[in-house]
């Protein structure tokens, strides 16, 4: 019998203890991802290009912090395990850093405000990296079975999207508040206080498995070299980047669509729910389908389906809000496959690579995986910021014809192109020597 046939299933208490903390990182992340560009331009009155470049530069720090965290996590040797010490330390840091992002003193302006935002974003990026990467890597080490890993990542993704829903609820509250600046700081403070206990659930209740075959990695550079030397890893990570470009575009442009295209700011938090709701409900279906259908084929199929959901949104206006609602729901159903299937496939790549190199490095792999998500979101923020800047965008005024067109192209075109390209890239994975299922 193979390991896949004899492995013990992951029980629900362990599944829950692993997945629940994801809400504590996802909520502040999505709140920043979806709303901070709009908050910076419309509330803090920063120039779109300034905040776009700033966020892009902050993401460059991820090029250092993500692989370094993965490398150090892989090498950590403590009585409680490799990953859990990082989770204990990161929990309070995530809460504090997310609050500082949304609470710049009102006396700050110009360069001083830019410095505050830059330092706060670096603080949050580092804290979330300290938690996310060891947490991701932990799941790949809890069970060697592909389906059990898909369950772990499926529930994690489910809870992550609950966090996204909470972020959209907070967004709706802030946008409609009389003083959005104060409201944003209040939401961030309350969320931080509430989420610290949740972030501690995994390190308190999950015991790490022993890894007697672990071979020390001599440097972060060697670890990264090993990751990108493996063709299957390059293909899968490339697809990950493209998928996150598509998701990040939709998330970043959505507030502008609601406010300036539909002229319905009351929908700013509700429209994302039309995507997130069906996505969350579809996750168990995709996980169950992965038991019968090859995961790679299933993921490609879902990406091709998502490709078709976005072009019709080019034609939305204030009289056809229903069209956007319907297409977002369809995109959400197709999007439910990415969360569980992507990390599950990556775990198999990690196993194959560890056998090939004798250097197990789940932390470095998931550092790269995590970094690509942040890099994609930063790139999209910069692209959208430039599109707004050069289309004549003026904060808190009706959008010009050029700005309206730029927003529609970003929403309808960029995700479709990114998802189709990702599906094409994944087609190469089967030819790369990767053992898929």
Mean pLDDT by 10 residues, the chain (437 residues): 56 92 91 85 87 79 82 86 93 94 90 92 92 90 88 92 87 87 92 92 87 54 77 92 93 88 84 88 94 92 96 91 94 94 91 79 84 82 88 86 93 96 88 56
Question: Could you give the residue ranges of the DSSP H alpha helices within 143-205?
Answer: 146-175, 180-199, 201-205
Residue 2 has a pLDDT of 38
Q: Residue 338 to residues 99, 302, 342, 343: CA-CA distances in angstroms?
A: 29, 8, 5, 8
Burial class (CB in 10 A: 0-12, 13-18, 19+), 96: middle
Residue 42 has a pLDDT of 87
Q: What CATH code would you report for 7-431? A: 1.20.1250.20
Residue 7 has a pLDDT of 61
Kindly report, residue by residue over 121-147, the tens digit of the pLDDT: 999 989 999 999 999 889 888 888 888
Kindly report, residue by residue over 275-333, the tens digit of the pLDDT: 988 998 999 999 999 999 999 999 999 999 999 999 999 999 888 899 999 999 999 99
Distant-in-sequence, close-in-space partners of 257: CB < 8 Å, separation ≥ 6: 271, 316, 324, 407, 411
Cα–Cα distance, 421 to 419 (Å, whole number):
5
Q: Minimal CA–CA distance to 349: which of 240, 220, 243, 207?
A: 240
pTM recorded for the entire structure:
0.79
Q: Minimal CA–CA distance to 66: which of 2, 126, 25?
A: 126
Give the Cα-Cα-Cα angle 204, 168, 366 (nearest 5 degrees).
Answer: 45
**56 is written with which tokens?**
């892009």
């Amino acid at each position: 019998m193979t390991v896949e046939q004899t492995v013990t299933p992951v029980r629900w208490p362990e599944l829950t203890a692993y997945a629940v903390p994801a809400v504590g990182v996802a909520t502040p992340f999505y709140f920043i991802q979806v709303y901070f560009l709009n908050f910076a331009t419309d509330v803090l009155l920063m120039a779109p290009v300034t905040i776009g470049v700033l966020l892009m530069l902050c993401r460059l720090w991820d090029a250092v912090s993500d692989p370094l965290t993965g490398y150090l996590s892989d090498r950590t040797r403590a009585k409680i395990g490799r990953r859990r010490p990082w989770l204990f330390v990161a929990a309070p840091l995530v809460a504090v850093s997310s609050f500082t992002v949304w609470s710049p003193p009102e006396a700050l302006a110009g360069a001083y405000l830019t410095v505050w935002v830059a330092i706060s974003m670096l603080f949050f990026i580092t804290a979330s990296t300290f938690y996310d990467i060891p947490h991701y890597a932990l799941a790949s080490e809890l069970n060697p079975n592909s389906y059990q890993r898909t369950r772990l990542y499926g529930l994690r993704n489910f809870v992550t999207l609950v966090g996204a829903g909470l972020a959209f609820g907070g967004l709706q509250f802030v946008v409609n508040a009389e003083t959005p600046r104060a409201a944003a700081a209040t939401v961030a403070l309350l969320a931080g206080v509430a989420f610290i206990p949740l972030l501690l659930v995994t390190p308190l209740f999950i015991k790490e498995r022993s890894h007697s075959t672990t071979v020390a990695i001599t440097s972060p550079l060697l670890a990264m070299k090993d990751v990108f030397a493996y063709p299957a890893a390059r293909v899968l990570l490339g697809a990950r980047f493209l998928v996150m470009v598509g998701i990040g575009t939709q998330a970043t442009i959505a507030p502008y669509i609601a406010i300036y295209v539909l002229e319905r700011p009351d929908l700013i938090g509700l429209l994302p729910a039309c995507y997130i709701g069906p996505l969350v409900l579809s996750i168990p279906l995709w996980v169950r389908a992965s038991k019968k259908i090859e995961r790679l084929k299933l993921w490609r199929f879902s990406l091709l389906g998502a490709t078709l959901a976005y072009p019709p949104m080019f034609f939305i206006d204030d009289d056809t809000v229903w069209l956007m609602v319907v297409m977002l729901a369809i995109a959400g159903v197709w999007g439910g496959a990415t969360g569980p299937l992507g990390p599950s496939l990556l775990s198999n790549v990690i196993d194959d690579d560890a056998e090939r190199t004798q250097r197990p490095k789940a932390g470095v792999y998931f550092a790269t995986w995590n970094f690509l998500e942040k890099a994609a979101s930063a790139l999209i923020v910069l692209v959208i910021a430039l599109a707004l800047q050069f289309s004549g965008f003026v904060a808190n005024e009706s959008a010009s014809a050029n700005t309206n067109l730029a927003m529609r192209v970003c929403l309808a075109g960029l995700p479709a192109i990114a998802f189709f390209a990702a599906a094409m890239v994944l087609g190469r994975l089967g030819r790369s020597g990767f053992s898929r299922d």
